[in-house]
Structure 1
Amino acid sequence: MDAAGRIETALELALATARDGCPPRLGGALRDAVIPGGARLRPRLTLAVAFACADDQPATADAAAAAIELLHCASLVHDDMPCFDDAALRRGRPSIHAAYGENVALLTGDALIVLAFSELARRVSDPVRLRRLIGIVADAVGAPNGIVAGQAQECEPSIGLSDYHRRKTGALISGATMAGAAAAGFEPEPWRALGMAIGEAYQVADDIRDLVCEPAELGKPVGRDAALGRPSATREFGMAGAMDRLRVLVARAVEVVPVCPGDALLKAMILRETRKFLPAELAAEAA
């Protein structure tokens, strides 16, 4: 089965467990928050790194990829709520709070976080790898440096662009690369730098898309960071500077791939996938 098929199968299994006997509105919201998904960048990175490291326990890698994506979906549900972005659309459809109400949205995000850890406990049989994966995932999500801390920075009177990008986006993407290595039995720490570089590149590209794309193209509102006074690479560096920054970060991501059996294929995949971060005309300019 290809990576996309493995990810969707693992997510469907997780949702079936969570929705069995669940209150109907919460069950519907859980599914709508996860299916259909977006680019699935984070779980695809998890599987790509696991594959590069020989992927000797595919079920463990699949569980790690599902956990990472469930946490990402949880963060989107909470991020869209009126107390943060107040976004009515996500992936071209009503956001969870718009469709189900704020109370159900809050519980949906909470349930997805718990489900991510539950899936690790349920699907990973190797106790050493399980322990590592739980630590990696927890650090990527919580305080002091995970996506929760990144969200909390939006509540502060001032935000530094680099720290904000590292926590809000880089933390979970570095968690994805580290989880892929840990799932395959490799030391995860050397894979942190790769995730951080890809994460910052993705966030810079997102800042660029927010400036040049229409809501219908992105499937979500645009201009929210500017409206809410949040940092943006395009405002800090200008469009040309943000494009230069993106090139540097993609080059760094390729450069820091650790030595592993499939490192050449992984580097090619990174270059291919990072070109998809931007609309086609801008991707050609960034190359």
Structure 2
Amino acid sequence: MAAAIRLGQGQGEAPARLAQALDYAVTPGGARIRPTICLSVALACGDDRPALSDAAAVALELIHCGSLVHDDLPCFDDADIRRGKATLHRAYSEPLAVLAGDSLITLAFEVLARAGGVAPDRALRLVTELAQRTGMPGGICAGQGWESEPKVDLAAYHRAKTGALFIAATRMGALAAGQDPEAWEELGDRIGAAFQVADDLKDALESPESIGKPAGQDVAHGRPNAVTEMGVAGAIAHLKDILSGAIASIPACPGEAMLAGMVRAYAERMTPVHHRTAAR
């Protein structure tokens, strides 16, 4: 990620504040869950082109970070805090936030293109995969677009807004390792669905300090969410069902046990803090 940001900043010819904003947008890095999943799948599949797998993971995270910068803008969430610090538009200005988000998204495809020489056929498929999960009709842009519709398809909304990059993570890991991505889509879909439900629960139940961003945003913005649809108990039960299905969906591969352990670890982290405490 550090090397990618240096690439995006150039050799001193770029506008200084925008160059600084790129680093600000990806630091600190959060959990880096999507690239971790991508690399884990690649490793489970053999990972015979590690430079390409690394590039795929970095590109995925750059897209995610760029989307967060845009999500926080006044025209969307109008958030003041992200990952425990001021959102980029608060720290650098709204115009620079738009440009930084755009720059991170385009940088993602440059990173993939530069790494593509080791396996051009795989790299082209990775570019296509990332583009489809970023834009329309079913990528994260579509997910944001659902919030402007008078009637929302909750499943399509969650699959696009949150699930798209998790599906990209599992599929791109397989692609980078030269394997069929179709077998890995269900795992990404289920992990993405689980993270969306967990995010809805945290937004409803936890404090801004514990999640590092404003809470209560779904209610404030009238967004569809699992807690409103199912209640807290129903959403938690649904989360557990999704994660059980995720483990069952892992394709047979040398790293199957490792991936199952990773999903179980994420399950613990995704369960709301007060519910984990009560369960103990």
Find the counterpart in structure 2 of residue 8 from structure 1. Answer: none
Bigger Cα displacement from structure 2, 256-265 vs 147-156: 256-265
Contact 1:209 1:279 in 2 (8 A): yes
Which of 8, 22, 43 pairs up with 2:14? 22
Q: In the TM superposition, what is the alpha-carbon distance from 1:283 to its structure 2 partner?
A: 3.6
Task: Supply the distance in 1 between the matched residues of 2:156 and 2:278 (Cα, whole angstroms).
Answer: 27
Bigger Cα displacement from structure 2, 136-145 vs 157-166: 157-166
Contact 1:140 1:147 in 2 (8 A): yes
Find the counterpart in structure 1 of residue 234 from structure 2. Answer: 241
Aligned runs of 1:129-278 on 2, under 5 Å? 129-278=122-271
Change (3 A) 1:245 1:279: closer
Q: After superposition, what is the alpha-carbon deviation per residue over 1:30-73, rounded to whole angstroms, capped at 9, x for unaligned?
A: 00101111111100000110111011111111000000000000
Find the counterpart in structure 2 of residue 5 from structure 1. Answer: none
Q: In the TM superposition, what is the alpha-carbon distance from 1:286 to its structure 2 partner?
A: 7.3
Change (3 A) 1:210 1:286: farther
Find the counterpart in structure 2 of residue 88 from structure 1. Answer: 80
Task: Supply the distance in 2 between the matched residues of 1:56 and 1:261 (Cα, whole angstroms).
Answer: 13
Q: In the TM superposition, what is the alpha-carbon distance from 1:282 to its structure 2 partner?
A: 2.2
The count of aligned residue pairs is 277
Could you tell me which runs of 5 or more consecutive residues in structure 2 were left unpaired when the two chains were aligned: none
Could you tell me which runs of 5 or more consecutive residues in structure 1 were left unpaired when the two chains were aligned: 1-10
User: Residue type matched to 1:67 in 2?
Assistant: A
Task: Supply the distance in 1 between the matched residues of 2:124 and 2:99 (Cα, whole angstroms).
Answer: 26
Matching of residue 39 in structure 1 with residue 31 in structure 2: yes
Aligned runs of 1:87-126 on 2, under 5 Å? 87-125=79-117, 126=119
Contact 1:247 1:286 in 2 (8 A): no
User: Residue type matched to 1:13 in 2?
Assistant: A
Per the normalisation by structure 1, the TM-score is 0.94
Change (3 A) 1:283 1:132: farther
Bigger Cα displacement from structure 2, 122-131 vs 134-143: 122-131
Q: After superposition, what is the alpha-carbon deviation per residue over 1:74-102, rounded to whole angstroms, capped at 9, x for unaligned?
A: 11000000000000110010101111111
Which of 60, 67, 74 pairs up with 2:66? 74
Contact 2:236 2:271 in 1 (8 A): no
User: Residue type matched to 1:28 in 2?
Assistant: Q
Contact 1:198 1:250 in 2 (8 A): yes
CA-based RMSD: 1.3
Q: After superposition, what is the alpha-carbon deviation per residue over 1:146-190, rounded to whole angstroms, capped at 9, x for unaligned?
A: 000000111111212211110000011100110000011101111
Task: Supply the distance in 2 between the matched residues of 1:48 and 1:174 (Cα, whole angstroms).
Answer: 13
What SS does structure 2 have at the residue aligned with 1:124? Answer: helix
Task: Supply the distance in 2 between the matched residues of 1:176 and 1:284 (Cα, whole angstroms).
Answer: 31
Task: Supply the distance in 1 between the matched residues of 2:140 and 2:248 (Cα, whole angstroms).
Answer: 25
